[in-house]
Amino acid sequence: MAITVPVSMGYEMEVKAKAADVFDVLSDVPASVSFFPKVDKLTDLGDGVYQWEMAKVGTAQVNIQTVYASKYTSNKAKGSVQWKPVPGIGNAQVGGSWKITDKKTSTHLQLKIDGELSVPLPALMKMVVQPVVEGEFEKLVEKYLANLAKRFGGEV
């Protein structure tokens, strides 16, 4: 039996770096992922597909490791980086996008993430587990954004 926990979030920020520099980092999946906390392993499966393996969370007896793959596409002219879930790999499906907008003296970023994680626990645990999973994911994404903001010279 497993619980499926949906995750959906959006963030916006403006950084001091030039849009071209921001695009170069965000469209280079390994470079971008290097700023994401608690990634155990990133594997290039070819054709723009990357498999993420997150660090295990929990205790030695009870822990969860999130594993998933997404296919990445980027378009410099549109200032977009998108990823779509690859079915059948791991215990999660994650998709999302970056929208990069040149503001001449700064760069505006929009991040959207949608996904779901399957956790091998009884359905009765959903009310307890869902807020924990959402909270942990939110903390990781916020740390990722803070790391990127630092890389891009800070927020405006």
Report, in angstroms and rounded to the nearest whole number, the Rg of the chain calculated over CA atoms.
16
Contact between 95 and 115 under an 8 Å Cβ cutoff? The reply is yes
The proportion of the chain whose per-residue pLDDT surpasses 90, expressed as a percent, equals 81
Domain at 3-151, CATH class: alpha beta
What global pTM score does this model have?
0.94
What are the tens digits of pLDDT across the range 35-77? 999 999 999 999 999 999 999 876 776 678 899 999 999 999 9
Distance CA(27)–CA(140), nearest Å, equals 19
What are the tens digits of pLDDT across the range 102-116? 999 999 999 999 999
| The amino acid at 12 | E
Token pair recorded at residue 135 = 């909270």
Using CB atoms within 10 Å of the CB of residue 72, give its burial: 0 to 12 exposed, 13 to 18 middle, 19+ buried: middle
